[in-house]
Structure 1
């Protein structure tokens, strides 16, 4: 979650959450972490999605935090709801409706949710109990103040897919759940190893330095503990990040980037994971020849980093995304059938190919 989102005033926001794992109860994670003023929450509800902004009749539940229906989130804080009895199937969608009775400051948000969020008009009051979606007159593709929905299942573990816009699902079809973490959750379930998969991708994110656009977030090094290691039940992290450092030549303290700089960032993340008792799998960086920021010098850094990821033994395992995605005739380029068109981000077929390249024994044993 980052700062820089829009403001709201006496409005209800209805967002979609897609479950990667089934269970018998859920809790909602709300965040005012990046905002500068307290957030007054008038009411929150959760329901099964019927279609669009419409809920399944009879499924709507009121969400409470510390057993109250309205509350204030101080600036820089987050809250988990009380557990809600609700049977969720893997792959099922739920609607989270958030009523904000006052005028807000710029929202803590996830800009690129690649799903449809429904928003009522300003000054229209509490619409959290509406089954019909007709009161939601505007749509966006972002999440606001919603950090996640936890499905509470016995003896489950969590895999965190941590990265940038490739993990976030940029250029994949809206609402299709065709990001590679979505595909991974389905493949694990199909192999009779249902494991929760959390997508901690953030478009534009870098390993070493904060992005200049505030909605692209603080560096991976700064956000790794909060966004990955502190999540409930996490046992394994898959790291795929660094192409934005390379493409923007974003070394420490404003200096040009070197391969050793980026490798040093990887070592830092590995140490953080191991200090927390969590396994970390390294993904090789995808080819990007043809992208606006591609240069031969940048390609040399990518190749050096990929060689280190494959051979250093520093990670607890390696997924060779580069090998799976590159064009055999032009190895610095994405395979044409996997290219979404910008020569950086895979399309839906490419996302599935990334997951097909994963040895599931890395994650299930």
Structure 2
């Protein structure tokens, strides 16, 4: 045993060389959880995107240099220990995280006293993430309840270059000059953004739900992402679904992997890799998941027009879009996941509204409803449509652009899901 410990210490000494960039494998949690490690479950998620700013200013293109970034997220699963996922998936070079903390959110950039935990990476307070890589922090002892808000604070002392981020957070992030990772107050955080940066997940383990493997991933575009919902209010349809599940006595983690503007078969410069590429990275790697709900395709239909933000993408036929859905279903089934297909919501009166686009939407929805390709179907189209004008979203559910629901619309979508189908 003494010889073994000596060898381990020698190995650790090699790993602490200052110039070493740790790989994800080197960053596995080292707690004593049995031969297979801890039973981690996803509690919160956001899909990464490459740096871009077609719909307004954010911090992604310029990146960070001697900045502290503070980001609050609401988890949907409970545990006794937590860890975070950081990503440099679209970075142009190594990303240095000088230090990081996690704490309970107090609001307005502040955190609760006594809740701040220093995060470590392979037992070290800082880490370098190679370009293209994603990693987890070590676990921290921080009891977490479902629907609790956690604040992750990153200190980025060195220039990051363009930042991997998530554009439509529908939540406020905060930035301060210098090192403020341990601040309880939010006073230093005078700059704000409505995007998330580098943070792509929060996972939990321990507690009564350790063995649960029944999480739900919601996968899609801006309507899954929550565009049109009230900022900082957690009224996206996945949020409402998680609350509905809990209220029914069947609590489950619900992870949001929507990206505003995303398409099934086309990559875009500003709205993420196409679903056919990112599905494997964003959905099939999530721990503790049993079901995925897929709502995507409206941007494939409308993206070839001049109104598409960021510029037109190649035209997609209904047949090609359906083939893309079939691929996603096959990949999910290969991983043992149940797949729920969601019909595409109305576009009449929106910037996507043309006879050709409407015909494609109706063709895709008919296939989703009748083909039997999905394990179950949720009819979001009918859930939010105006009964007197079914091609148009009900005014009470319209955020104002004829395309994205408001808070009430997202609640109606969550209520349309058959909980037994999950």
Fold similarity call, TM over 0.5? yes
User: Which residue does 1:183 correspond to in 2?
Assistant: 240
Q: 2:292, 2:409 → 1: CA distance?
A: 21
Give the alignment of 1:289-300 within 5 angstroms: 289-300=348-359
Does the aligned pair in 2 maintain the 1:17–1:148 contact within 8 Å? no
Matched, 1:19 2:75: yes
The 5 Å alignment of 1:193-272 reads 193-211=250-268, 214-249=269-304, 256-272=315-331
Question: Given the alignment of the two structures, is residue 3 of structure 1 paired with residue 58 of structure 2, yes or no?
Answer: no
> Paired residue for 2:33?
none
Worse-superposed segment, 126-135 or 201-210:
126-135
SS at match of 1:59: coil
Partners of 1:9 and 1:215 in 2: how far apart?
23
Q: CA deviation at 1:3?
A: 1.4
Report deviation, 1:283: 0.2
Distance in 2 between the 1:358 and 1:75 partners?
39
Is 2:410 the partner of 1:351? yes
Q: CA RMSD in A?
A: 1.1
Please name the residue that 2:170 is paired with: 114
The equivalent of 2:186 in structure 1 is 133
CA distance in 2, matches of 1:257, 1:41: 41
Deviation, 1:10, is 0.8
SS class of match (2:102): strand
Aligned length: 355
Q: What is aligned with 1:76?
A: 132
Q: In structure 1, how many angstroms separate the alpha carbons of the residues matched to 2:86 and 2:358?
A: 40
Q: Could you tell which deviates more after superposition, 237-246 or 133-142? A: 133-142
1:361 matched to which residue of 2? 420
Alpha-carbon separation, structure 2, partners of 1:8 and 1:63: 20
Match of 2:363 in 1: 304
1:145 counterpart = 2:198: yes
- Rounded to whole Å, the distance in 1 between the matches of 2:304 and 2:192 is 36
CA distance in 2, matches of 1:51, 1:294: 40
Deviations along 1:124-182, one digit per CA (max 9) or x if unpaired, are 2x211111111111111111110011122412221000000000000111100000000
1:71 deviation in Å?
1.1
How far did 1:273 drift?
0.6
Contact 1:7–1:104 under 8 Å retained in 2: yes
Contact 1:19 1:151 in 2 (8 A): no
More strand per residue: 1 or 2? 1
Deviation at 1:51, TM superposition (A): 2.0
The Cα shift of 1:256 comes to 3.2
Once residues 85 and 215 of structure 1 are traced to their aligned partners in structure 2, the CA distance between those partners, rounded to angstroms, is: 37
Structure 2: gaps spanning 5 or more residues: 1-47, 52-59, 306-312
Does the residue aligned with 1:161 lie in a helix, a strand or coil?
A: strand
1:291-318 Cα offsets, whole Å, 9 max, x none, are: 1121111111111110100111101100
Tell me the residue number matched to 2:401.
342
Could you tell me which of 216, 222, 238 is aligned with 1:165?
Answer: 222
Which entry has the higher C-alpha Rg, 1 or 2? Answer: 2
User: 1:257 deviation in Å?
Assistant: 2.1
Q: CA deviation at 1:249?
A: 3.6
The match for 1:97 among 138, 142, 153 is: 153
Q: Which runs of 5+ in 1 are unaligned?
A: none
How far did 1:259 drift? 1.0
Structure 2: distance between partners of 1:81 and 1:255: 40
8 Å CA contact 1:162, 1:238 repeated in 2: yes
Distance 2:80 2:96 in 1: 29
Which residue does the alignment assign to 1:280? 339
TM-score, normalization by structure 2: 0.83
